[in-house]
Structure 1
Amino acid sequence: MKWEQLQTRQPVVAKLLRHAVVRERLPHAYIFEGEDRSEQVSAASLLCRAFLCQKDAIDKPCGECSDCRRVESGNHPDVTSIKPDGQSIKKHQVERLQKEFTYKGMESVRKVYIIEEADLMTASAANSLLTFLEEPEGETLAILITSNLHFLLPTIVSRSQVLTFAPLSEVERQKVFQNEGETEVLAAIKARIREIPADIPEEERLTWIVHGRQVVIQLAEEVLLRPRQARLFLQEKWHVHFKDRNHIETGLDLILFWYRDVLYTKWNREDLAYPDQLERLRTEGLHRSELMLAANMKAVIEAKRYLSANVNPQLIMERLLFRIQEGS
């Protein structure tokens, strides 16, 4: 991400950050809060590059110096990232961070740490971080990323500058992706799927979501045209691709977008998640009333709720399949 891209997506955030960089008056801690974690992470990387860049302030980040390149590749020795260890960020992770920051920077006197999903810190981890925020070592920049600001300790929030990332509409996000060179099909699905499961390697994420999208298209076709084979399709295709709960949650979102698109085609709307499947969507629309489609979407939303309650995923999908076929 570059300043121009951040300006397009988040003009207020871009203005505040760039102004602070140019004036070299960055606070010691930021909280990035909003729904789109991937965008916040990209903005954090941009700020890290600007903070550590070797060029003049007005041109930071240059994108060419060794600091810029290593931050972008995720290999800078003076940038530390923390993510949840399982379901939470634990005290020992923050203590390890504190120990790391007692040493001098490998490349300069400046050091950065980024905490993703900061709202998942345990109480002891949050209190350890609070001490660290109150007494930062040297030229330190902290960036906490969260979608639930109210879950952070008020004392942590009060010692940080909060920047809110306003959510873009699906149409706006799609335009951004298309302006960055994505095809209409990929831009449409990326604009709607906020996060791809973290256990999918970065280099495989595009392939994974494209294949998952195709699995959902095929499942919808089986349910409509070959309902007796749909359960077999679940076993042979769906569960093979969407292997665990995080995967299934993304798959359920893709199903939800499918039936919403069917409804949208009945209303002659063009903001579709599956713009290349217009004929299939129209065909399905001929076989399903608006009430049936609303029921299908409700069934998907309920399936997501059962999934978060740790109900057996296979039972969830079989029940969802039955409800979609019944249209109730």
Structure 2
Amino acid sequence: METWNELKDSQPKVVQLLQRSLEKDRLAHAYLFEGSKGTGKKQIAFQLAKSFLCKKNEGAEPCLVCADCKRIDHRNHPDVHIIEPEGLSIKKQQVEHLQKEFTYRGVESGKKVYIVDQADKMTASAANSLLKFLEEPTAPTLAVLMTERASSVLPTIQSRSQQLSFSPLPREKFIERLEKEGISRTLSTLIAGLTQSYEEAIALMESDWIAQARSVVIQLNEELYERPHQVFLTIQDKWIPTFKERRELELGLDMILLWLRDLLYTQVGKTDQLVFADQQTLLEQQALSSSQEKTSQSMSFVLEAKRHLSANVNPQLVMEKLFFSIQEG
């Protein structure tokens, strides 16, 4: 549980605006939070819900210990409703169910909050149904819509919401936050290159998968230059057993991309920005036997592999084609 002042470290402009609105009792009835994954949209949405519903708050700060605050933390507050995609989209029936819930008076305080995650994935009929809520808000009601692509949200919904843009969390601050959780600098730096989601970062550390995956990526990149004949055997024996799920495969390709970026940084003398800093000697050796142009081309091959993976191409074929392309240059 964090305070507004602690959240301000990651999103100073957004938090300052919301704090000021809370202190002056001038909250908008609807907000549209826009920002990439991991920028804290959901965290701040629930913090806003606490401030809105907490009966013991001091100014903008919720008490964090009352029943309302604790229920919101545990995602089981009867007056906080969450809508998120069922399958690929948010459907009209989900919004209609929400409308029905809002015909009843708030269980605890008369106030109600609804949070729409991935609002850009509403179907046209769902978005039009939700629009009625925004045009005729049932006071006191607070709506928070979250999206990575505000431009894909119905323009009339955008115009009836106060839009707040979330900035990416500064890399070094995120690394420091992970280190405070006892995660080594080596893995914290890698994770910060893969995600800006604190929750996802902690989930990655719940097992030793991330450390194993990192080792496989280093091994493959080392063999690419020193033992190229071994690469395809390692893909079969190490890569496929380690990267089993779709998300793991995506992360694996992202790690290869980070390695190539480190190689490019090494080639241009920016070694203070390395993700694989403990592998600097190896990166320097590879930098001598490769050009910046070839490294950039290899990065484009990885991006192509990611597109093939999204198209459900066999993962082993994706990897074999990727490293064949890099070897051929």
TM-score normalised by the chain length of structure 2: 0.87
Give the drift of 1:151. Answer: 0.6
Equivalent position to 2:318, from 301, 316, 320: 316
Give the drift of 1:56. Answer: 3.1
1:1-328 counterparts in 2 under 5 A? 1-58=2-59, 60-171=61-172, 173-175=174-176, 177-178=178-179, 183-194=184-195, 203=203, 206-207=206-207, 208-266=209-267, 267-326=269-328, 328=329
Q: 1:33 and 1:180 mapped to 2: Cα distance?
A: 28
Match of 1:126, SS state, is helix
Asked if structure 2 preserves the Cα contact closer than 8 Å seen for 1:37 and 1:146, the reply is: no
Give the drift of 1:37. Answer: 4.0
C-alpha distance 174-204 of structure 1, shift in aligned 2 (>3 A):
closer
C-alpha distance 179-103 of structure 1, shift in aligned 2 (>3 A):
same
Match of 2:50, SS state, is helix
Match of 1:143, SS state, is strand
Q: Deviations over 1:287-307 (max 9, x none)?
A: 433233222112112222333
Residue identity matched to 1:96:
H
Residue identity matched to 1:293:
T
Provide runs of 4+ in structure 1 moved above 6 Å: none
Q: 2:134 and 2:100 mapped to 1: Cα distance?
A: 14
Q: 1:53 and 1:212 mapped to 2: Cα distance?
A: 43
Q: Deviations over 1:187-232 (max 9, x none)?
A: 3223222367x9x897556534444333322332333333333223
Asked if structure 1 preserves the Cα contact closer than 8 Å seen for 2:62 and 2:69, the reply is: yes
Q: 2:206 and 2:278 mapped to 1: Cα distance?
A: 17
Q: Deviations over 1:68-99 (max 9, x none)?
A: 22222323232222222222222222222222
Asked if structure 2 preserves the Cα contact closer than 8 Å seen for 1:212 and 1:251, the reply is: yes
Asked if structure 1 preserves the Cα contact closer than 8 Å seen for 2:169 and 2:196, the reply is: no
Match of 1:270, SS state, is helix
Q: 1:101 and 1:46 mapped to 2: Cα distance?
A: 21
CA-atom RMSD, angstroms?
2.8
C-alpha distance 16-218 of structure 1, shift in aligned 2 (>3 A):
same
Unaligned 5+ runs, structure 1? none
Q: 1:128 and 1:210 mapped to 2: Cα distance?
A: 46
Q: 1:302 and 1:103 mapped to 2: Cα distance?
A: 51
C-alpha distance 170-21 of structure 1, shift in aligned 2 (>3 A):
same
Match of 2:271, SS state, is coil
Number of residue pairs aligned between Structure 1 and Structure 2:
325
Give the drift of 1:264. Answer: 1.6
Q: Deviations over 1:92-126 (max 9, x none)?
A: 22222222333333332222221111111111111
Q: 1:240 and 1:158 mapped to 2: Cα distance?
A: 49
Q: 2:5 and 2:280 mapped to 1: Cα distance?
A: 34
- % identical aligned pairs: 47
C-alpha distance 186-123 of structure 1, shift in aligned 2 (>3 A):
same
Residue identity matched to 1:110:
K
Q: 1:268 and 1:157 mapped to 2: Cα distance?
A: 41
Asked if structure 1 preserves the Cα contact closer than 8 Å seen for 2:298 and 2:326, the reply is: yes
Q: 1:242 and 1:110 mapped to 2: Cα distance?
A: 46
Q: 1:164 and 1:154 mapped to 2: Cα distance?
A: 16
C-alpha distance 62-84 of structure 1, shift in aligned 2 (>3 A):
same
Q: 2:185 and 2:94 mapped to 1: Cα distance?
A: 41
Q: 2:245 and 2:123 mapped to 1: Cα distance?
A: 25
TM-score normalised by the chain length of structure 1: 0.87
Q: 2:119 and 2:95 mapped to 1: Cα distance?
A: 11
